[in-house]
Amino acid sequence: MQILDGKELSTSIKDELKNKVIKLKAESITPGLAVIIVGDDVASHTYVKMKESACEKIGIYSIVHKMPSDISQEKIMETIQMMNTNPNIDGILVQLPLPKHIDTDKILQTVSPDKDVDGFHPLNSGKLSLGLDTFVPCTPLGVMKILQTYEIDPKGLDVCIVGASNIVGKPMMNLLLNEFATVDICHIHTKDLKVHVKRADMVIVGVGKPNLITVDMVKEGAIVIDIGINRLESGKLVGDVDFEKVSQICSYITPVPGGVGPMTIAMLLENTIKSATQRLENA
């Protein structure tokens, strides 16, 4: 069994990105990322601080718009439109989840596709499904970068994705289909999850349920990618996979923490620099 170390990989990627920022600044382009966060969700504020810190370390300019939980949808959209037209902002990120009175789809569609570094705009989702160059959601993109680095070729593999969200499951499916994997995607209404997972050469899970994937569900020698992150009552962070037992029979596995999580932020930085590079090319 080999650990797929996303933390170490993300560090080397950030070093490469830092050099790209230096080159962009030499061309009078400073990559800029704007974040909107609504309300007081502790986890969301923690993630945003991590993103701010990562931007600062590699030289990306970042600004955070903190908004009260009772803010109107119109005010959020006005702020996004302002950033859409700001030539110094290359990426716009809306931290999810949003309060229930806000139409999340409408908010995400307000972000310019050219600055959609989260890859959530329908235009970018459509491009991804067609295999065209676009902004790809950061978590699935991070998974693909891990596979590439460890020379794991999805071509011809039977892959089971557990979780069908627009943020992870669906874009993950499209990325793997574009690499000629055979993809089986499961969700909360799947009748017999074990049947699907057991036959997979690669299992990718991200639903936020500790120990959802147990050792009896996984084929020996399978590749296991755990995107889930859950905090137990003890304070310990764990994924959706029973790591201790599953790691004894699989060929590769991502740990939690230290697997896909760090790669998500690294890919956000990469997408922002991609957008800044496009700004330079279009100047």
Whether residue 124 is contained in a domain is answered as no
Same domain, 170 and 256: yes
As a whole-number percent, the residues of the chain with pLDDT over 90 amount to 93
Same domain, 236 and 145: yes
Q: What 3-state DSSP class applies to 44?
A: helix
- Which residue, of 114, 130, 163, is where some domain finishes? 114
What is the reported pLDDT for 184? 97
What is the reported pLDDT for 282? 87
Same domain, 55 and 91: yes
Residue 133 has pLDDT above 80, yes or no: yes
Q: What average pLDDT does this structure show over 100-111?
A: 96
Whichever domain contains 155, its CATH number is: 3.40.50.720
Q: What average pLDDT does this structure show over 254-278?
A: 96
DSSP tag of 115: G
What is the reported pLDDT for 190? 95
Same domain, 180 and 251: yes
| Reported confidence tier of residue 42, pLDDT bands at 50, 70, 90 | confident
Number of H helices, E strands in the chain: 10, 11
Residue 84 has pLDDT above 90, yes or no: yes
Tens of pLDDT, residues 10-23: 999 999 999 999 99
Whether residue 22 is contained in a domain is answered as no
In this structure, of 44-48, 72-76, 177-181, 256-260, the range with the lowest mean pLDDT score is 44-48
Tens of pLDDT, residues 138-180: 999 999 999 999 999 999 999 999 999 999 999 999 999 999 9
What is the reported pLDDT for 151? 97
Whether residue 228 is contained in a domain is answered as yes
Q: Which residues are catalytically annotated? A: 51, 95, 118
Whether residue 15 is contained in a domain is answered as no
What is the reported pLDDT for 107? 97
Residue 233 has pLDDT above 90, yes or no: no
Residue 130 has pLDDT above 80, yes or no: yes
Query: Which residues span the domain enclosing 203?
Result: 138-261
Same domain, 146 and 255: yes
Same domain, 149 and 255: yes
Task: Give the span between the Cα atoms of 175 and 128, in whole angstroms.
Answer: 7
Whether residue 13 is contained in a domain is answered as no
What's the structural domain count of the chain? 2
Whether residue 1 is contained in a domain is answered as no
**How far apart, in Å, do the first and last CA atoms of the chain sit?**
48
Residue 283 has pLDDT above 80, yes or no: no
Residue 232 has pLDDT above 90, yes or no: no
What is the reported pLDDT for 235? 84
Tokens 């329908």, residue located: 122
Q: What average pLDDT does this structure show over 257-277?
A: 96
Same domain, 148 and 238: yes
Instruction: Could you list the beta-strand ranges (E) of the chain.
Output: 2-3, 32-38, 61-67, 91-94, 158-162, 182-186, 202-205, 223-226, 230-231, 237-238, 252-253
Same domain, 185 and 145: yes
Whether residue 21 is contained in a domain is answered as no
Same domain, 251 and 214: yes
Whichever domain contains 33, its CATH number is: 3.40.50.10860
Q: What average pLDDT does this structure show over 206-215?
A: 94
Strands 158-162 and 61-67: unpaired
| Reported confidence tier of residue 44, pLDDT bands at 50, 70, 90 | confident
